Structure 1
Amino acid sequence: MYGLVNKSIQELITTNFGEEKWEIIKANSEIEIDYFISTEPYDDSITYKLAQAASIELGISVDEVLFAFGEWWVLKTGNEKYGGLMKAGGSNLKEFLINLPLFHDRIMLIYPKLTPPEFKIDEIEDRSLVVHYYSKREGLVGFMKGLLSGLGKLFESPVEIFHLFGRENGDDHEAFKVSW
């Protein structure tokens, strides 16, 4: 993952819990990187170690850490750093989610070494749809739920997210029903 991801985790922790808590989490993760460079790719294991250390230090599950980070990513990082791209995705939640498969195509122009997930959208109804999430990375169900929740908040459309199926049951991807 790019350094921007790890920097965003750092911002989430320092904003909500303080710099001292971040230093404890970073030390407990045993990561020996002083500063993350936004445009530099880092091994995924660094992000997972940070999430695990935050889980232990904050006394919450890794899924809860990833959920909080997913919301933060949309509401803070994504909105502040990619506001134009976010707005280009749609004027409401439904439009944005329908256009989600194209979003990472635009992001890859900025981060050419990105290994993005793929999204497919189906079962589109008036107030719900199904998001299919394909990624080489495992263990990010909580993050994906947080992203979807954050998008609901961004578009002022409270959402219900139901994890329909996923890799833990032998499927090749995750699927989420999103209702608003």
Structure 2
Amino acid sequence: MYGIVNKAIQDLVTETFGEDKWEAVKEKSGVDVDFFLSNEPYEDSITYELVGAASEVLGISAGDVLQAFGEWWVLKTGKEKYGGLMESGGNNLKEFLVNLPLFHNRIMLMYPKLTPPEFKVSDIEESSIHVHYHSEREGLQEFVRGLMSGLGKMYEVDVNVELLQSRSDGSSHEIFKVSW
């Protein structure tokens, strides 16, 4: 993953829990990086180590860390680093989710070494949509749930994100039903 992901985890922990908690997370994770360069790729294992250490240090589940990180990614990192791109995604949550499959195509122009997930949508209704999440990286479904929740907050809409199928249940990918 690119350094911007790890930097966002650092920002989430630092701004929400304090610099001392971030130092504890770094120490517990064994990650020996003084600062993350946003445009540089890092091993995925670093991100997983940071999430695991944050879970232990903060006393919350890794799923809760990932969900909080997903919301943070949309509301802080996305808006601050990719404001124009986020705004061009749609005028409301439904439009953004319908356009989501094209979103990473634009991101790949900025991060050419990116191995992005793939999103597809189906079952588009007036107040719900199914979001299909395909990724070679496992264990990030709660991050995606947080992203969907963060998008709801960005558009000031109450959302419910229900996991309909998961790779942990033997499926080929995750499907979320996002309702508003």
2:107 match: 107
* Structure 1: distance between partners of 2:103 and 2:112: 14
Q: For residue 73 of structure 1, what is the amino acid of its counterpart?
A: W
* Structure 1: distance between partners of 2:82 and 2:34: 25
1:174 counterpart = 2:157: no
* Structure 2: distance between partners of 1:10 and 1:171: 32
Q: For residue 141 of structure 2, what is the amino acid of its counterpart?
A: V
* Structure 2: distance between partners of 1:103 and 1:46: 25
Q: Deviations over 1:96-122 (max 9, x none)?
A: 000000000000000000000001100
* Structure 2: distance between partners of 1:168 and 1:10: 28
2:128 match: 128
1:65 match: 65
3-state SS in 2 of match to 1:138: coil
3-state SS in 2 of match to 1:82: helix
Task: State TM-score, norm by structure 2.
Answer: 0.99
Task: State TM-score, norm by structure 1.
Answer: 0.99
3-state SS in 2 of match to 1:80: helix
1:144 counterpart = 2:130: no
Q: For residue 10 of structure 1, what is the amino acid of its counterpart?
A: Q
1:12 match: 12
Q: For residue 148 of structure 1, what is the amino acid of its counterpart?
A: M
Give the ranges of 4+ consecutive aligned residues of structure 1 lying more than 6 Å apart after TM superposition.
none
* Structure 2: distance between partners of 1:88 and 1:122: 21
Aligned-pair distance for 1:141? 1.0
3-state SS in 2 of match to 1:28: helix
* Structure 2: distance between partners of 1:156 and 1:35: 33
* Structure 2: distance between partners of 1:17 and 1:177: 31
RMSD, aligned CA: 0.4
Q: For structure 2, which runs of at least 5 residues remain unmatched after alignment?
A: none
* Structure 1: distance between partners of 2:178 and 2:17: 30
Count of aligned residue pairs for this structure pair = 180
2:36 match: 36
